[in-house]
Amino acid sequence: MAEGRIVKALSGFYYVKSGDKIYSCKGRGVFRNRKITPLVGDFVQFEESNPGEGYIMEIAERENELIRPPIANINQAIIVSSAVSPDFSTVLLDRFLVLIESKHIQPLIFITKIDLISEEERRQIEEFKGIYENIGYTVELLSSKEPDSLPDLEEYFADKVSVFAGQSGVGKSSLLNVLKPSLLLKTAEISKSLGRGKHTTRHVELMQINRGLVADTPGFSILDFSEIEAEELTDCFPEMRDRREQCKFRGCMHHKEPKCAVKEAVEKEEIPQFRYDHYLSFLEEIQSRKPRY
């Protein structure tokens, strides 16, 4: 039996990289019976049946996994937001951050298209950059149209498996093309009538970029919190997670409870008001969803 990692899944075949070779493998029926689907990113054991072909026999335990896009064992998620077209949105960024934090994946924030904004808009974006850095996130302001002005991003990718997240049209593929010109990923023009990007990325694949692996994934725009419980939401906001022990009540939801350290921090402007507002709106969304049986 050989060991490797699934780097691409397409039409029922799993492409497993083992050493310098890639093997085209099928999943064993035993996985179907156990309702386990091999995912891109999985570490697997496989048996070679013919040269370059084989069957996946075992899947190692996963550190984490995403459903959309379907991928496992990710070290970091690079959330790509655009400064304009589509406009920068803190509520959308916070939705992505919450989903990624809930999976215990390290988020990075890349804000693109900064070559297209006015000085005033740039000042606003710089202000948000400072707020998110203060929370503890890494934030980079980028322009794919000006590759020479890009900061050195290589170190972010070295020895890591990264997934790009962000709504369609924010420039994920353009950025990947700048990082590795040989990819020539198809980039979509924003369809002006819809104001959103056309989906150009179809399957999930791990590509070698800057001494690391990067998943190019469909820009996903449906960001629901169906897998997050209300009690877990605090943990998805680092500035609240750090203060939860100081709340008077255990299991404080930072909403109507008295002597809440989070609400006090908001009043003192130690936690940004907009982040707290987003927390409350996400909390309401989670609490009002229909129970699953």
Domain spans of the chain, in order of start: 2-61, 66-216, 230-287
Q: Give dist(CA 107, CA 97) in Å, integer.
A: 7
For CA atoms 128, 88, 69, 48, the dihedral sign is negative
Residues in the chain: 293
**Amino acid 216: pLDDT:** 63
Rounded to whole angstroms, the Cα distance separating 275 from 213 reads 32
Residue-wise pLDDT tens digits, 4-28: 999 999 988 999 999 999 999 999 8
Helix (H) or strand (E) holding 40: none
CATH number belonging to the domain at 66-216, selected among 3.90.1530.10, 1.50.10.10, 3.40.50.300, 3.90.1150.10: 3.40.50.300
Share of the chain above pLDDT 70, in %: 90
Range 243-261 average pLDDT? 96
Task: Give the separation between CA 59 and CA 121, rounded to whole angstroms.
Answer: 48
Beta bridge partners of 288: none
Tell the CATH topology of 2-61. Answer: OB fold (Dihydrolipoamide Acetyltransferase, E2P) (2.40.50)
pLDDT digits (tens, 9 = 90+) for 67-101: 777 899 999 999 999 999 999 999 999 999 999 99
CATH number of 230-287: 1.10.40.50
**Tens digit of each residue's pLDDT (9 = 90 or more) over 124-173:** 999 999 999 999 999 999 988 887 777 788 889 999 999 888 887 888 87
